[in-house]
């Protein structure tokens, strides 16, 4: 009982720490621009600088946190649903579907998103979301529903490979869209505005509520499907709802910021390295951790080589990949030490 109380207290402390880190990073993010660091507290007497903060830096900072929170939540749901610590939000083919949707939209519009008007930009966002959802539906169709987890995994891999190949084929046939597609595939928060923040905030709250309500089912699934069925869990309905949460959260984040790697995969791992807890706490903490990770990476990407900006997806891939390699090496050393003893 003492150990359970200690873990619960540690989970609350971690949550408070992540909220504090989010607030500090938000303050730092609104202070970093193309000219480098400029404290947001110094712009109140400059109307132009204040407008830049309100219309560009602030929604971008909030949007980076929300996109990271959506990916962190989706990563925790995916790893719990598939009982696989290497599962990420893109496992059901949503990323490849979003890329194909954007490629088709760019060919249709014939313009780059950098020079597009708001209507075209909205079209690209809608195409990315529609492509992500369509890819998940295709995965479900190939897997013949949600009855078998292994079939879902295999169908997701197949859909991801096929749709990715189709995107590459479109880029080969229409090379003028290659630069815009590269920007989407590397990820960017540069186009996030207040409307995108509102959409992501609503979806995040909805997905967080649904995932929280289904957290006890995830705890049951972590014991194995046979055990979960013996506990009376309606496995088919639970899987369908969890996949819906996963698709909605991932599709919304990818549609607004492009493909950002490793945030959804690394966030639950970071939480579990600090505290061992149930999915009810893990989902919320992973969401907060994802927001902190992406906001920190976005702020670093903007300020590291200012005025030049690094693609945030590249930065998260390098940092997230390095962390997972370190974690694997650490686990191997621990296992070797245990076997020797």
308/136: higher pLDDT: 136
pLDDT score at 255:
86
Q: Give yes or no for residue 112 having a pLDDT over 70.
A: no
pLDDT score at 17:
94
Region of poorest pLDDT, from 116-130, 223-237, 266-280: 116-130
pLDDT score at 209:
95
Residue 219: pLDDT band (50, 70, 90) is confident
pLDDT score at 67:
94
Region of poorest pLDDT, from 42-46, 124-128, 168-172, 232-236: 42-46
pLDDT score at 39:
58
| pLDDT (average), residues 178-204 | 86
Three-class SS of the chain:
CHHHHHHHHHHHHHHHHHHHHHHHHHHHHCCEECCEECCHHHCCCCHHHHHHHHHHHHHHHHHHHHHHHHHHHHHHHHHHHCCCCCCCCCCCCHHHHHHHHHHHHHHHHCCCCCCCCHHHHHHHHHHHHHHHHHHHHHHHHHCCCCCCHHHHHHHHHHHHHHHHHHHHHHHHHCHHHHHHHHHHHHCCCCCCCHHHHHHHHHHHHHHHHHHHHCHHHHHHHCCCHHHHHHCCCCHHHHHHHHHHHHHHHHHHHHHHHCCCCCHHHHHHHHHHHHCCCCHHHHHHHHHHHHHHHHHHHHHHHHHCCCCCCCCHHHHHHHHHHHHHHHHHHHHHHHHHHHHHC
| pLDDT (average), residues 244-268 | 89
Q: Give yes or no for residue 181 having a pLDDT over 60.
A: yes
pLDDT score at 24:
93
Contacts of 185 (CB under 8 A, 6+ apart): 99, 258, 259, 313
| pLDDT (average), residues 203-211 | 94
The answer to whether the CB of 309 falls within 8 A of the CB of 190 is yes
Please tell me which of 17-26, 188-197, 250-259 the model is most confident about, judged by mean pLDDT. 17-26
Domain boundaries, the chain: 1-62+260-332, 72-192+216-259
The answer to whether the CB of 84 falls within 8 A of the CB of 219 is no
Region of poorest pLDDT, from 80-84, 109-113, 224-228: 109-113
| pLDDT (average), residues 289-304 | 89
pLDDT score at 341:
46
pLDDT score at 207:
93
pLDDT score at 64:
93
pTM of the model: 0.86
pLDDT score at 116:
44
Contacts of 137 (CB under 8 A, 6+ apart): none
pLDDT score at 118:
43
pLDDT score at 69:
95
What superfamily would CATH give domain 72-192+216-259?
A: ABC transporter involved in vitamin B12 uptake, BtuC (1.10.3470.10)
The answer to whether the CB of 89 falls within 8 A of the CB of 320 is no
| pLDDT (average), residues 104-130 | 64
pLDDT digits (tens, 9 = 90+) for 31-90: 776 665 665 556 566 677 677 777 788 899 999 999 999 999 999 999 988 888 878 888
| pLDDT (average), residues 102-112 | 74
Q: Give yes or no for residue 119 having a pLDDT over 50.
A: no
Question: String of b and e for 266-303 (b: at least 16 CB within 10 Å)?
Answer: bbbbbbbeebebebbbbbbbbbbbbbbbbbbbbbbbbb
Region of poorest pLDDT, from 23-27, 72-76, 238-242, 286-290: 238-242
For the chain, give the number of residues: 341
| pLDDT (average), residues 1-14 | 78
Q: Give yes or no for residue 139 having a pLDDT over 80.
A: yes
Residue 125: pLDDT band (50, 70, 90) is confident
The answer, yes or no, to whether the previous bond of 307 is cis (omega within 30 of 0) is yes
Distance CA 62, CA 158 (A): 34
Residue 340: pLDDT band (50, 70, 90) is very low
Taking all residues of the chain, what is their mean pLDDT, rounded to a whole number? 81
Distance CA 72, CA 270 (A): 10
């Amino acid at each position: 009982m003492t150990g359970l109380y200690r873990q619960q207290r540690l989970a609350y402390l971690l949550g408070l720490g992540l909220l504090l880190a989010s607030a500090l990073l938000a303050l730092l993010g609104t202070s970093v621009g193309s000219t480098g660091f400029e404290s947001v507290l110094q712009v109140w007497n400059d109307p132009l600088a204040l407008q830049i903060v309100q219309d560009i830096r602030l929604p971008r900072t909030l949007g980076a946190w929300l996109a990271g929170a959506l990916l962190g939540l989706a990563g925790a749901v995916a790893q719990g649903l598939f009982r696989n610590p290497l599962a990420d939000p893109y496992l059901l083919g949503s990323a490849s579907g979003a890329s194909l949707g954007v490629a088709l939209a760019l060919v249709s519009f014939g313009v780059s998103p950098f020079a597009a008007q708001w209507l075209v930009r909205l079209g690209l966002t809608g195409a990315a979301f529609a492509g992500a959802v369509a890819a998940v539906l295709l995965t479900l169709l190939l897997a013949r529903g949600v009855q078998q987890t292994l079939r879902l995994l295999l169908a997701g891999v197949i859909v991801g490979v096929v749709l990715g190949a189709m995107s590459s084929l479109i880029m080969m046939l229409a090379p003028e869209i290659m630069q815009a597609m590269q920007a989407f595939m590397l990820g960017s928060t540069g186009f996030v505005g207040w409307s995108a923040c509102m959409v992501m905030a609503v979806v995040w709250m909805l997905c967080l509520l649904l995932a929280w309500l289904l957290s006890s089912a995830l705890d049951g699934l972590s014991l194995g499907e046979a055990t979960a069925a013996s506990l009376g869990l309606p496995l088919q309905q639970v899987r369908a709802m969890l996949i819906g949460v996963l698709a909605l959260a991932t599709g919304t984040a990818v549609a607004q910021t492009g493909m950002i790697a490793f945030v959804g995969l690394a966030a639950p791992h970071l939480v579990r390295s600090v505290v061992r807890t149930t999915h009810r706490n893990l989902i919320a903490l992973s969401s907060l951790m994802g927001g902190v990770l992406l906001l920190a990476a976005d702020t670093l990407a903007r300020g590291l080589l200012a005025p030049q900006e690094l693609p945030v997806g590249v930065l998260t891939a390098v940092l997230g990949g390095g962390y997972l390699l370190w974690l694997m090496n650490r686990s191997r050393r621990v296992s070797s030490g245990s076997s020797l003893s």
